[in-house]
Structure 1
Amino acid sequence: MNPFKTEVEHLDGKLLIAMPSMGDPRFNRSVICICAHSGDGAMGLIVNKPAENLNFGDLLEQLAIKAARPIDGIDVHYGGPVEHGRGFVLHSRDYEAEDATLNVNETFGMTATLDILDDISQGVGPDKCLLALGYAGWGPGQLENEIRDNGWITCDANPALVFSEDHDAKWKAALDVVGIDPRMLSSTGGSA
């Protein structure tokens, strides 16, 4: 056993915070909620990048879902570079669709059906939600290697941060959770 090996913990329901050394511009200053993590890989949703020129009302119209109430203040997010046309809803655990909701942890669920969009539009969906098109995905060991290479740091996800409408402030707020001042970050990293 190597006592110096860095182990990556189980990450379901954790936030990934992109470090300045992250080489992929698609993830610059991203905050990602990890929805599933196992030996087979990981998937998560970027929670701080609203999609340009698309809101929930537009999405409902495209899907021919008639809203029973005015739909305001619900953004659609760029969830990540994989399957841009596929929708996901990260939400509070007060909502569960039978055989369709992934219980991320005790705080968050994720559902990827048209029914949840209809329920939200009818006012019977989850209390808190974040809609995303696409997701961020990693193969076996890929995310763990990126974390070891200082591309990401992790912290516990909390609903106030994840569901905040102040998307521009989420990256700094996530760093605040772990006590890091972004002005002190370097674009290079290493380990001793």
Structure 2
Amino acid sequence: MSNPFVGKSLVAMPRLEDPWFFRSVVCMAIHDAGGSFGVVVNNSLSDISEADVFRSIGMACSKCNQSRPVFCGGPVREDGLFVLHGPPFDWKSCLPITPYIGLSFSRDIVEAIAADRGPASYKMMLGCSGWSPGQLENEICENAWLVHTVSADLLLSLSADSCWDTVLQKMGIRPEFLAAEGGNA
């Protein structure tokens, strides 16, 4: 089976009012016969910082930043810590998504970040997003998502507030002209 969504962003259409995915941008990591998996990159958790995460797992942090947000990657495994990041990709549990972005979920990357030896660009997230086989394709056919090529610099650098609008603009779409309801020809 080909992987048409791996290395792509899913951009929520206005009609997708589910609170988990409203105005979300999802970086897709897996799409195969078993289903689809990715992380929301623009839903920051207002009450949890990177420093809070390190404290909660009992890890000392040399560069903890109280203002660096942690993101909600989605409604699946909400207690799981995931790191979406740029190079390097040699962590124990790293899933390379494109040559420029990977998703890791092992302690070694978290320890490296705490010691200021981790990737230069990254986002920490709690939870992930998943779809059963065929579910994502159905949602795309129902006009719930737009699909766009992942740009690591955008996904890792944009603030939660500007991400959705900026990705749409990069696609050549003016957000104010998107209709809540779509049609099929």
Q: TM-score range by the shorter chain?
A: over 0.9
| 1:47-76 CA distance string (max 9 Å, x none) | 011112100101100100001234365321
Percent of matched pairs sharing the same residue: 33
Looking at structure 2, the residues matched to 70 and 59 of structure 1 have their Cα atoms a distance apart, in angstroms, of 10
**1:127 counterpart residue number:** 120
After superposition, the CA RMSD in angstroms is 1.6
Looking at structure 2, the residues matched to 21 and 42 of structure 1 have their Cα atoms a distance apart, in angstroms, of 21
| 1:113-149 CA distance string (max 9 Å, x none) | 1221110011111111111100110000100110111
Decide whether aligned partners of structure 1 residues 138 and 70 sit closer, same or farther in structure 2, where only a CA change above 3 A counts.
closer
Task: Give the letter for the 2:51 counterpart.
Answer: G
- 5 Å-filtered alignment, 1:78-117, equals 78-98=72-92, 100-117=93-110
**1:24 counterpart residue number:** 18
Structure 1 runs (4+) deviating above 4 angstroms are none
Task: Give the letter for the 2:155 counterpart.
Answer: V
Indicate yes or no: 2:141 matched with 1:142: no
Decide whether aligned partners of structure 1 residues 10 and 148 sit closer, same or farther in structure 2, where only a CA change above 3 A counts.
same
For structure 1, the 5+ residue unaligned runs are 1-7
Tell me how many residue pairs correspond in the alignment. Answer: 184
Decide whether aligned partners of structure 1 residues 66 and 146 sit closer, same or farther in structure 2, where only a CA change above 3 A counts.
same
| 1:107 Cα deviation from its structure 2 partner | 1.4
Looking at structure 2, the residues matched to 166 and 132 of structure 1 have their Cα atoms a distance apart, in angstroms, of 14
Task: Give the letter for the 2:113 counterpart.
Answer: I
* Deviating more after overlay: 155-164 vs 8-17: 8-17
Pairing partner for 1:151 from 123, 144, 163:
144
Q: Secondary structure at the match of 2:114?
A: helix
Decide whether aligned partners of structure 1 residues 165 and 185 sit closer, same or farther in structure 2, where only a CA change above 3 A counts.
closer
TM-score normalized with structure 1 length: 0.90
CA contact (8 A) 1:17 1:154 kept: yes
Looking at structure 1, the residues matched to 59 and 100 of structure 2 have their Cα atoms a distance apart, in angstroms, of 28
For structure 2, the 5+ residue unaligned runs are none
Whichever of the two has the greater Rg, that structure is 1
Decide whether aligned partners of structure 1 residues 72 and 54 sit closer, same or farther in structure 2, where only a CA change above 3 A counts.
closer
Looking at structure 2, the residues matched to 52 and 85 of structure 1 have their Cα atoms a distance apart, in angstroms, of 16
CA contact (8 A) 2:85 2:119 kept: yes
Pairing partner for 2:9 from 7, 10, 15:
15
Indicate yes or no: 2:69 matched with 1:75: yes
Looking at structure 1, the residues matched to 4 and 87 of structure 2 have their Cα atoms a distance apart, in angstroms, of 20
Looking at structure 2, the residues matched to 70 and 182 of structure 1 have their Cα atoms a distance apart, in angstroms, of 35
TM-score normalized with structure 2 length: 0.93
**2:183 counterpart residue number:** 190
Q: Secondary structure at the match of 2:154?
A: helix
Looking at structure 1, the residues matched to 164 and 17 of structure 2 have their Cα atoms a distance apart, in angstroms, of 17
